[in-house]
Structure 1
Amino acid sequence: MLMVRAIVRPEKAGQVMAELAEAGFAAVTKMDVFGRGKQKGIMVDEYCYDEIPKEMLLIVCTEEDKDTIVKIILRTARTGNGNYGDGRIFVSAVEEAYTVSTGKPGL
C-alpha cells in the first residue's frame, strides 16, 4: 500500500477530489494546511506572506493505482501555465492499515 499526499491550491482541491471520485478513488482525506514552497512566500508591497493556505489530500492506494492517481492530480491541480504554488505530491509506503469499525486489516 502507498499513501499519496497532494498539497494543492484551495481553489483546486474540490475539482481534484471530484476527478478522483469519478475515476473510482472516492476515499480521500482533506485538511487545511499552511506553508510555503520554493517561492518562499508572497511579497505584497513591503509585506511577506510566508504561510500560504493550501489543502492537503491524503489517499491510500495500491501500487497499481498510484500512477493513475498521480496523473489525475497533476492534470487537475495545475493552473493554466503551471505557476509556483500549484503544489506538490509525495508518495510513501504504508506498512499497515485497519478499518476501525471491523478491526480488519487492509484497504
Structure 2
Amino acid sequence: MKMVTAYIKPFKLNDVHNALHAVGVSGITVCEAKGHGHAKGHSEVLWDTEYVAHFISKLRIEAIVPDALLSHAVKAIMTAARTGHTGDGKVFITTLEDVYRISDGSAGADAL
C-alpha cells in the first residue's frame, strides 16, 4: 500500500476528487495548507502598492491506495490538477508498512 500526498490549487479539488473516484480510490483526506516552492510566493499590485504573499494557499490531499491502483491514482491527480502554469502542485508517494481500522481491528487492504 502507498500513501499518495498531493498539494494542489484549491479550485482543482472537485476535478481531482472526481478523477480519483473514477479510478477506484474510495477515500481521501483534504486539509488546507500554506507554503511556497521554488518561486517563493508571489506579489500583487493593488492601487499602486505592491503586496507580497510569501505563502500560497494550497490543498493537501491524502489517499491510501493499493499498489495495483498507484499508477492510475497518480495519473488521475496529475491530469486533473494540471493547469499548465507554475504552481500546479506536487505529488509525493510514501510506502506504508501497514494500516489498521480502529473500529473493528481489521488490517492491511481489508482496513481500507
Please say whether Structure 1 and Structure 2 have the same fold, judged by a TM-score greater than 0.5.
yes
1:59 is the counterpart of 2:85: no
- Kept in 2, the 8 Å contact 1:38–1:84? The answer is no
Q: CA RMSD in A?
A: 1.1
In the TM superposition, what are the counterparts of 1:1-107 in structure 2 within 5 Å? 1-45=1-45, 46-79=50-83, 82-106=84-108, 107=112
Q: Select between 51-60 and 19-28 the one with higher mean Cα deviation.
A: 19-28
Q: Structure 1: give runs of 5+ residues left out of the alignment.
A: none
What is the identity, as a one-letter code, of the residue corresponding to 2:20?
L
Question: What is the TM-score normalised by the length of structure 2?
Answer: 0.88
SS at match of 1:27: coil
Bigger radius of gyration among the two: 2
Q: Select between 60-69 and 2-11 the one with higher mean Cα deviation.
A: 60-69
Q: In 1, distance between residues paired with 2:61 and 2:44?
A: 28
Query: Could you tell me how far 1:28 is from its partner in structure 2?
Result: 0.7
Aligned residues: 105
Query: Could you tell me how far 1:22 is from its partner in structure 2?
Result: 2.0
Q: Structure 2: give runs of 5+ residues left out of the alignment.
A: none
